[in-house]
Structure 1
Amino acid sequence: MLQWISKGGRVTIFTRDMSWANKDKEIKELLFKKAINNELIIIIASNIGLTKKLENDGATIYTYEELGYTPNSRFTIVRTDRIDSKVAIGKERNGKHFIEEFDSSDGYPFHIANDLTNFLIKFNKINKEGTIQNEESK
């Protein structure tokens, strides 16, 4: 994962709890570097200790706990919003974990990851605006 995230450009991480990053000092250092350079987007169930610190350093954090549903999907997109972006999806086969990479020419895996990411980003923005409107109308 370290090699994958260290590629140039913005990175989008779709995760449940960032447990994989909490255990690895090199990953955390790289995430903070990406955050400082405004190259890190994290979509997570709820904003937790690590993601709050990353957000303070410049990462963009979106959550989905308001949905009352935890997606089974976990993936990372490198070079987000660029023509050469790719998605990495972890899989397990025969008890071994490996990462499979897809780009836009691979069809559905890449586009489903992008669609889910964009859907949850838009949901967060609408939800935030709706909350602000409701507070102003009181």
Structure 2
Amino acid sequence: MDPQAERIATNLRKGVLEYCVLALLSGRDMYGLELAGALMDRGLTASEGSLYPLLARMREAGAVETRWEQPEDTGGTRPRRYYAITARGRELLAVFATVWGGIAAQVESLIADARPIEPAAEPEPGTDTKEPS
């Protein structure tokens, strides 16, 4: 991906990441690494390092709650922090879905109506591109 496209994608991902987390949690509770993997699989985050501070902010805002569990598949030696969406988180997700739908439709309409910008035509080989003096 070219640098300009990557910058645009990064900015868009940052703006919607919180709501993507809420959407994932609306299906079931997940632990941090599991959430990070689901987001990375979808290309929505590049690392778990950006996710954990976001989850802490979401918890402080009341959008998610956490609990610790000793999973059986780790031999019960390593607890995992599970994240669950709260009623407040469901409200935020519903509002986001409404707003996103409107914005996405507006942006798609603008893009569809935009006049295409055509790249400059390449001169045919062997033709003189200089204007006569």
Normalised by the size of structure 2, how large is the TM-score? Answer: 0.31
Which structure: greater strand fraction?
A: 1
Pick the structure with greater CA Rg. 2
TM-score (norm 1): 0.30
More helix by share: 2
